[in-house]
A and B are shown apart, each in its own frame.
Chain A
């Protein structure tokens, strides 16, 4: 089948998003991968998501490779190579007889009998144009641009079968097998596997060529096959270490002998691709290491080193706080840095916790590719490559293995650009990196020579993923002593929260940064939210210039392929010095991606998670946070940036100003609250914790929260949630008895740690740990009933969500401190003020026992009509008491009932289902009233709003009508309506200018004459009433910002 016709059928030949050679060579992130594919995979072009058209720092993301092959066998071979590249989800290969569609993320050799059909990664084989046109309809340019491709084919994109995960899985299986074969020293197993990974890599890359082996008097068979001999293998290792300056992962001769020849042969056989070996089914034949990017291999290997121990379930890496950095995240961070201060020859780069060197490899590659582009495709000479490496790239790590992998990865990157890579026809010598560029040691060691050298020759870029670990003096690892002491010495000047090492690295990096240098570090997202880090934030934001933060908390479940679930954030900044004071910028750019907005990774519904293989920045998720707000050290600006708007901040400020809080009542000693009793078993089982006995607790009732999970709006406790304290658990942490016990006395309110329940209870009941009890000095039943009811209101949840550091970031836990900040809209000792609450409380008590709301697996809310009516009354009562207007009520409602369905990376139906016509009407009317209110009643202009929808998206047309004070109509149209034709022009503009808006800007605005068009996906979350307030604000602001307005015309 002719390639030309395939491209015409898919309309790629007319699309600006189908990239050909020149564009591919200019790609900042993937040029080297495309070049290789062009040379060896028949790559003709790439259909891409054109992030570069939407923002300066956004790379183009490859979606479909289009390749040419001479035969079907060659097509299959191309598939294998592309799978090894680990870059693109789909591959179309045109060969004379047919067109084959492959998955770029799945490969299985057809010869393997247990694999068939899609298991091989062959998605379709098409022999006619009609078939191409019909079967590959979703691959047409327009369908890729609108996101339809993923709806039909998204489930075939399976990142879990990508080469990196497959290889890691295989390495771990091999490791298990070796351990099972009797090796007691697990590090030996790791070492030998690591050795073979790199030997295979060097071999596939023709670095360990036949010629090279011959030079060393070796044959391939005696070192790479089942017939490997011990002496030959040891010779190979010695020669290799010598040639590569000791950079290859080390393993002592004695260790290899300890492994034994039989095991060595078995491992060699597996790596040689012998199909089935004993109980092992490891298809190493599938791998072509000459195609696996070295950065990918570094990441795989780092994880292999840090793999959890099979017995203990913990890993050395995790214990040290070392979390791996996925390559897309590395590229994302480097792209942000590159926009701020482009990496140029002459600039020095440091990764202060370099691990296997993935950041450094990518930086080095950026420098090389720049030279390639400058030289119109001519690669730099080996000497130039060596200088680019030794003069620019530096790293530190305290793990010697990691240092050596980093060194080797950099050397291999260099060799990527050298021909021949075995250096047999050149006198070029590889550089020695150890102790010159890569330093093994503690980044907090001031005495080392390299630390002193860094101070003399600071760095222009500092980038990396430092360890995330909080240090505790009582269980301090010897390796952490340096960091711990540094934190102690600097606790006043450069404070950290909870001795978090990542925060110490953030400070430390400033010492090594050049005057105009910039820093990008991956840190725990909780750095921006947790109370303990407030002093860090306050001091750090004052003494640095933070320009951007990317909060990946919502992607935590999908970003690290299940290997880590700790929320991450990328922090970009430069450092201020006393003698060179610069103004802080007015705002900090904060990017908070939600899984629900990641079109490419849309799981297609609740309950499914698709691992991230690229990071698509959506402009609608970028916020500008005022720098003056973050200088307070408060966490609220960061929470607002992810989940709210300045409107929410105003709402919270206003309510906080006008009403006393629970803390105020506590200060007056009319109310007391506490977390529950921390009961323990007998002391001998709890060595190290001081306990006091309270045998009187045995048999007392205690709340069991397990039956309350997934339930909300409880107005009384179900019987099954009240159990008895077992007599063996009547010990309490010393000094922690009186207050927690006192809140167990009736009457009291029991509040869930997740705020999922707040129940008034008039009998003695022990409050369990983490849950909160509230009691009153004079047993004020009416107040406590009102409080329990109020805590079930939407507003209380809304308030606690913003006030609790962990909610919306890490897990569903709210704090006692957040509860103390809750404003109370009724008076403690005013029965008149409490009366409507008590009346409604009694009504709620009369609801049937099973009426409370619960969540099903899809996170859909379900509750009965009576409860719904009662809750409406409660929310009305709360809103009236707090004097919330309809807009504020909408903000509260929409967070609690729509956006919460996106918490923790979920894609809940309540947020992603299509909006109803009534909901569209509410949206449009709110938009209109916001815009008209802004102009004011006396202005002779009003807004006409029309909404035109189809099944995928909606367009809002906002037209300013002059010379009228009459309210203008609001209309909801469907795409087929005759009246909707006026939107054809908007659609045409959209196709021409922003065809891929759905990926990169899910709240796109286009200004056309007197009409403003908003383009949105057809999902409820984008059409909420509170979103209309946001949209109106943005339309107003952008219109005001346009510099075309002239005062004369204003006055006229």
Chain B
């Protein structure tokens, strides 16, 4: 049975640029609206999976509510879906924490979020490590995509303090993270519902390509 590939006779990138930014913004808009509906302080000591579960539930409620904006009807959000990546089968597969999908017939673009708690001294290492940011950089997550996202669940201190620590770690070891020192970790304004979102850029050596990562910090 034939697939339905785009019949592209010319570079559609000019559309892609605008559309991709819109997609990223929309995903963060849903995230922000879901976060707003949560009683965040009740999750101050919760585990990461519990927070993610509540956050996704809240986002789903927003998407199914009667007052959800029309554009939301194409968006689906799931927590913990397994990821297809070379060399890993079945239960060995990594499971991304949150997945956004633009769903219709045919291709279904995704944006993946990996979440980490920020609550203790080793949290930054976990946030950036093999089970954190490096999952994207090493191509375990989103190997086909150019954009990924990290979520920091701030349970101690202020988001800005964690952001500075993350910036410092990235700047200290740019090669480990494929981190582009220019422009560095840059603040973004994607939606009014999220106060702290930043963007970084990384080389993915194994895939011979690069990607952008959005970092959003939610206070609990």
Contacts and interface: CB of A to CB of B under 8 A. Distances in A.
Interface of A: 51, 54-58, 336, 339, 548, 550, 581-583, 585-587, 589, 591, 617, 619-620, 622-624, 626, 628, 645-647, 650-651, 653-654, 657-658, 883, 885, 887, 930, 933-936, 939, 941, 960, 962, 989, 993-994, 1000-1001, 1004-1010, 1012, 1029-1030, 1033-1034, 1036-1051
B2 A617 contact: yes
Nearest to B85: A583
B28 to A, nearest CB: 11
Interface of B: 1-4, 6-26, 63-66, 68-71, 73-74, 76, 78, 81-82, 84, 89-91, 93, 102-109, 144, 146-147, 183, 186, 199, 201, 210-212
Given A548-B1, A583-B84, A1004-B7, A650 B21 contact: no
B19 A1036 contact: yes
Name the residue among A51, A586, A994 with the largest chain B CB count within 10 angstroms.
Answer: A586
A576 to B, nearest CB: 9
Contacts of B70: 885, 887, 930, 933
Given A658-B66, A883-B66, A1042 B13 contact: yes
Contact of A55 (B2, B24, B103, B186): B2
A253 B118 CA distance: 90
A1029 B70 CA distance: 10
23 contacts: A55-B2, A619-B2, A622-B105, A628-B78, A653-B64, A934-B71, A939-B22, A1006-B8, A1007-B9, A1009-B14, A1010-B14, A1033-B103, A1037-B107, A1037-B109, A1039-B12, A1042-B6, A1043-B144, A1044-B13, A1044-B16, A1045-B20, A1047-B199, A1047-B211, A1050-B147
Contact of B103 (A646, A1009, A1029): A646
Cβ-closest 7 pairs across A and B:
A55-B2, A1047-B212, A1033-B104, A1045-B16, A581-B90, A1044-B13, A883-B66
Given A583-B93, A1006-B7, A1045 B17 contact: yes
Nearest to A648: B73
Contacts of B63: 650
Contacts of B91: 581
Given A885-B70, A1050-B24, 12 more contacts: A548-B1, A624-B106, A628-B81, A993-B7, A1036-B102, A1037-B107, A1039-B19, A1042-B15, A1044-B12, A1045-B16, A1046-B13, A1046-B146
Contacts of B186: 1051
Contact of A1041 (B81, B89, B109): B109
A895 to B, nearest CB: 15
Nearest to A888: B73
A459 B39 CA distance: 57
Contacts of A1046: 13, 17, 146, 210
B2 A1040 contact: no
Nearest to B63: A650
Contacts of A1045: 13, 16-17, 19-20, 146
Contact of B146 (A550, A993, A1047): A1047
Given A1030-B104, A1037-B109, A1041-B107, A936 B26 contact: yes
B9 A1006 contact: yes
Given A589-B1, A936-B25, A1047-B146, A1042 B82 contact: no
A587 B105 CA distance: 11
A887 B106 contact: no
Given A936-B22, A939-B22, A623 B17 contact: no
A444 to B, nearest CB: 30
Given A887-B70, A994-B7, A1040-B20, A57 B105 contact: no
Nearest to B91: A581
Contacts of B103: 626, 646, 1033
A727 to B, nearest CB: 54
B6 A1041 contact: yes
Contacts, number: 211
Given A650-B64, A653-B64, A1007 B17 contact: no
Contacts of B11: 1009, 1044
Given A993-B9, A1007-B15, A1010-B15, A623 B105 contact: yes
Given A1034-B106, A1050-B17, A586 B84 contact: yes
Contacts of A1010: 14-15
Contacts of B76: 646
Given A622-B2, A936-B26, A1033 B74 contact: yes
A586 B82 CA distance: 9
Contacts of B109: 1037, 1040-1041
B105 A650 contact: no
Nearest to B209: A1043
A22 B166 CA distance: 64
B70 to A, nearest CB: 6
A646 B102 CA distance: 10
B100 to A, nearest CB: 12
A939 B18 contact: yes
Nearest to A1041: B107
Given A654-B66, A1033-B74, A1037-B104, A1050 B20 contact: yes
Contacts of A941: 18
B19 A1043 contact: no
A1012 B15 contact: yes
A960 B18 contact: yes
Nearest to B145: A1043
A989 B9 contact: yes
Contact of A1039 (B7, B15, B82, B210): B15
Contacts of B201: 1047-1048
Contacts of B14: 960, 1009-1010
A1049 B90 contact: no
Contacts of B144: 1043
A1007 B1 contact: no
Nearest to A1040: B109
Contacts of B21: 939, 1050
Nearest to B21: A1050
B106 to A, nearest CB: 5
Nearest to A1037: B107
A645 to B, nearest CB: 6
A617 B73 CA distance: 29
Nearest to B211: A1047
A963 to B, nearest CB: 11
B158 to A, nearest CB: 26
Contacts of B1: 55, 57-58, 336, 339, 548, 550, 589, 591, 617, 622
B44 to A, nearest CB: 29
A1033 B102 contact: yes
A1042 B8 contact: yes
A586 B66 CA distance: 29
